[in-house]
């Protein structure tokens, strides 16, 4: 009888981790598909300020930045958009104010702009934090 509770707790923890890893993989797949469906475009960086999210990822340490952009492509007239990107140390020189950069416009929401720049990634967490306010 004494062993049933610890075994049940261990089993519950294992089930939780299996479920969480499958859910995380599904979420990552959905995000990659969303970015793959996005339209190629250009953007001019109007301004950028540091955001509240920083951490370590695939390319080392990153800092989130809030960007104000002017976005356009052959199908859309220029428009302003706000976005949050995670910029790794090697990506910092590639995203300075006044620069023109390659981006992708979300197919479902043109206000969502993904970077198409090496060492720069869209900040899913940063966007949630910024737009939740």
* Residues spanned by the domain of 22: 1-37
Total number of domains in the chain? 2
| Statement to judge: residues 51 and 105 lie in one domain | yes
Q: C-alpha 101: how far from its chain's center?
A: 17
Counted residue by residue, the chain has a size of 133
Predicted local confidence at residue 47, as pLDDT: 96
| Statement to judge: residues 43 and 32 lie in one domain | no
Predicted local confidence at residue 4, as pLDDT: 75
Query: For position 128, which CATH number holds?
Result: 2.40.50
Dihedral sign of CA atoms 38, 96, 87, 65 in order: negative
| Statement to judge: residues 78 and 31 lie in one domain | no
| Statement to judge: residues 93 and 113 lie in one domain | yes
| Statement to judge: residues 88 and 123 lie in one domain | yes
Where residue 98 falls (left for φ over 0; alpha for ψ -120 to 50; beta otherwise) is left
Q: Which helix (H) or strand (E) holds 43?
A: strand 39-57
| Statement to judge: residues 111 and 61 lie in one domain | yes
| Statement to judge: residues 67 and 108 lie in one domain | yes
| Statement to judge: residues 44 and 13 lie in one domain | no
| Statement to judge: residues 116 and 89 lie in one domain | yes
Predicted local confidence at residue 28, as pLDDT: 75
Residue-level pLDDT, tens digit, the chain, 133 residues? 577 776 666 666 766 555 555 556 776 788 788 889 999 999 999 999 988 777 888 888 999 999 999 999 998 899 999 999 999 999 999 999 999 999 999 999 999 999 999 999 999 887 776 655 4
| Statement to judge: residues 106 and 69 lie in one domain | yes
Question: Cα separation of 33 and 119, whole Å?
Answer: 19
**Across the beta sheet with 100-105, what order do the strands follow?**
113-115, 100-105, 39-57, 60-72, 79-88, 120-122
Query: What is the value of pTM for the model shown?
Result: 0.78
| Statement to judge: residues 48 and 95 lie in one domain | yes
Predicted local confidence at residue 22, as pLDDT: 56
């Amino acid at each position: 009888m004494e062993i049933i509770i610890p075994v049940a707790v261990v089993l519950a923890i294992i089930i939780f981790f299996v479920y969480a890893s499958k859910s995380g993989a599904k979420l990552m797949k959905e995000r990659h598909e969303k970015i793959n469906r996005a339209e190629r475009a250009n953007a001019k960086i109007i301004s950028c300020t540091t955001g509240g999210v920083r951490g370590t990822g695939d390319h080392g340490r990153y800092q989130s930045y809030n960007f104000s952009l002017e976005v356009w492509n052959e199908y859309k007239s220029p428009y302003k958009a706000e976005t949050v990107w995670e910029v790794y140390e090697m990506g910092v020189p590639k995203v300075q104010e006044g620069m023109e950069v390659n981006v992708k416009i979300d197919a479902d929401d043109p206000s969502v702009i993904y970077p198409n720049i090496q060492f720069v990634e869209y900040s899913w967490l940063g966007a949630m934090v910024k737009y939740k306010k």
